[in-house]
Structure 1
Amino acid sequence: MPKNKGKGGKNRKRGKNEADDEKRELLFKEDGQEYAQVTRMLGNGRLEAKCHDGVARLCHISGKLHKKVWIAAGDILLVGLRDYQDGKADVIHKYMPDEARLLKAYGELNDSFRPNEGGNDDDDDNNGDGYIEFEDADVDKI
């Protein structure tokens, strides 16, 4: 019988977030990089994001971030632009909510970026409660 050499399997390692409460240095964009907000997750390590320059790009989550940094719709990211494909980018860094608010306070993000809100701006006309209002005449017909 093999000897147990570790203190647990992959489920033990999955629960670790060692650097969760540390203060990180705020990263600003350089040339070839852009700020983006996630509009929707596509799966397979890919997402769709609307960049600061107004272009919607297909972004790839690198292996360094994959399964270590969880990204959801509405998150603010730093993406690296590709020279040869304008419609695609690579995720470099995910900003925490307080870091995203700092970026907005410094004037790095424009007003269309709303940190910690859903990425789709198309649903502004409905109030999001999920209810449909009927008039009394409609109810009587049912």
Structure 2
Amino acid sequence: MPKNKGKGGKNRKRGKNEADDEKRELVFKEDGQEYAQVLRMLGNGRCEAMCLDNNGTKRLCHIRGKLHKKVWIASGDIILVGLRDYQDDKADVILKFMPDEARLLKAYGELPDNMKLYVDCGGGGDDDEEDDIDCIEFENDDIDKI
């Protein structure tokens, strides 16, 4: 039987993301970059995002290898994309903003005021907003039946 030369298997690799709790410096867009909100995930390391430039174009975004399987992106997330000079309808995901970072960007005026950030199914929101959110609420009796 061969001698083990490595330091562990896939469970060791799974637990490497321990430094996520640290506060990181807020990154603003530069030229050639744009803020976007993910509309839907397409699979194969791609997503469709609505860019927040002046015309609000939908772009097919490629999740780069540094983020792939390390940073999980879902629909509704705020991301920073790098625009391509040669393809206007495609972009590359550079960074995913955490919810508190997205709120800071909105407070600084980088994101438009009418944009909804991280729509979730948590209670405590206004009753007017329940029509916009597709959530399933269970009664206690319904949970017991499942």
Gap runs ≥5 in structure 1 = 119-123, 132-142
Q: Secondary structure at the match of 2:19?
A: coil
Equivalent residue letter for 1:6: G
Partner of residue 30, structure 1? 30
TM-score normalised to structure 2 length: 0.79
1:102-121 alignment, distance < 5 Å: 102-117=104-119
TM-score normalised to structure 1 length: 0.81
1:129 Cα deviation after fit:
4.7
CA distance in structure 2 between the partners assigned to 1:107 and 1:39 by the alignment = 21
CA distance in structure 2 between the partners assigned to 1:67 and 1:43 by the alignment = 12
CA distance in structure 2 between the partners assigned to 1:76 and 1:127 by the alignment = 18
1:20 Cα deviation after fit:
0.9
Partner of residue 84, structure 1? 86
CA distance in structure 1 between the partners assigned to 2:67 and 2:135 by the alignment = 34
**Would you say the 8 A contact 1:36–1:78 is kept in 2?**
yes
Among the aligned pairs, what percent are the same residue? 78
1:11 Cα deviation after fit:
2.6
Runs of 4+ residues deviating >6 angstroms: none
1:4 Cα deviation after fit:
1.8
1:58-73 alignment, distance < 5 Å: 58-73=60-75
CA distance in structure 1 between the partners assigned to 2:67 and 2:52 by the alignment = 21
Q: Secondary structure at the match of 2:95?
A: strand
Equivalent residue letter for 2:65: G
CA distance in structure 2 between the partners assigned to 1:17 and 1:110 by the alignment = 32
Gap runs ≥5 in structure 2 = 121-129, 138-146
Structure of greater relative contact order (alpha carbons < 8 Å, 6+ residues apart) = 1
1:112 Cα deviation after fit:
3.8
Residue 134 of structure 2, aligned match among 120, 128, 132: 128
| Larger radius of gyration between Structure 1 and Structure 2 | 1
Give the 3 Å change call, closer, same or farther, for CA 3–129 of structure 1 in structure 2. closer
Aligned-residue RMSD, C-alpha:
1.9
